[in-house]
Amino acid sequence: MINNISIKTPTEKNMSATIYNFEQAQTSSHPFPEFIFIDTSFLLSSLGPVPEAVKDFPSHTNVQCSNFLDFLKSKAKNGDICLLTSDGVIEEFLHVILKRCVNSKDLSNPVFKAHKEQYMRVERNPVTELLKDHPELIKKHYPILDEYYKRILEVPIAALGADYLGGLNTNAGISDHMCDLINKYQILSGDAHHISIGLLAGIKHFIAIDCDFHRVDDITVYTCLSPKPHKCKVC
């Protein structure tokens, strides 16, 4: 097990978590943790499109995230920090990339137009249903998924699986912890699952481009988002 990491004194305390922006984290005086957990949101924001997918492919790359990833790579390769994620994060990342591929390259195809309209009439997700009915699309886009996976491994980053968590490696152990987080902080199950994996491994430092992480007590979040509470754009 990785030893618990104490929370450092923050330069600014916002909501429940301790929040550091990327600029603060890159100062020479910042007490950077030895172990840090990378969330899906950061990977999606920091890894740009692979060459095969550049045309008409929405990468949503954030320059601040991309630069911070380069900073993390340098520290990790020097042995200053250990970058970790989970199998669930990688699964979620690849699923989002696959959906982006389908959205940008397949849903506009006249061949699939009728499929999209039918799925929406029965209130089903058109991308998910299209992939289920046409698995050849997964094969078509797999080279892009494989390229992204290789880029994740090059960071370098290690993925924590449930088997890493020793006596808490049962589904019930992780699920119970996840449900507690959902109930206490009103966060989505995916975010709660990622945080649970990190906390059960003794990691309290996360990199996430997701304001939901800010509501969780006793963790540190590195982000480029404003620490102000998210407000509904409609209400």
Tens digit of pLDDT for each residue in 181-230? Answer: 999 999 999 999 999 999 988 999 999 999 999 999 999 999 998 766 66
Backbone conformation region of residue 157, classed left if phi is above 0, alpha if psi is from -120 to 50, else beta: beta
Least confident of 6-20, 42-56, 70-84, 130-144: 6-20
Per-residue pLDDT at 17 exceeds 50: yes
- Select from 82, 28, 12, 50 the least CA-distant residue to 223: 12
Per-residue pLDDT at 61: 67
User: Of 44-58, 69-83, 221-235, which gets the smallest average pLDDT?
Assistant: 44-58
pLDDT at 23: 92
pLDDT in the model for residue 192: 96
Domains and CATH numbers, the chain: 18-101+156-223 (3.40.50.1010)
Q: Are strands 220-223 and 82-86 parallel, antiparallel or unpaired?
A: unpaired
DSSP code, position 48: -
Q: Bigger pLDDT: 194 or 5?
A: 194
The pLDDT of residue 51: 66
pLDDT above 90 for 172: no
What confidence tier does 10 reach under pLDDT thresholds 50, 70, 90?
Answer: very low
Mean pLDDT on 65-87? 94
Mean per-residue pLDDT of the chain: 83
Q: What pLDDT does residue 170 have?
A: 53
Task: Find all residues with CB under 8 Å of 232, minimum gap 6, and list them.
Answer: none
Predicted confidence band at 42 (pLDDT cuts at 50, 70, 90)?
very high
Percent of the chain with pLDDT over 90: 53
CA angle, residues 136, 142, 144, in degrees to nearest 5? 135
- Residue 198 — φ and ψ, nearest 5°? -65, -50
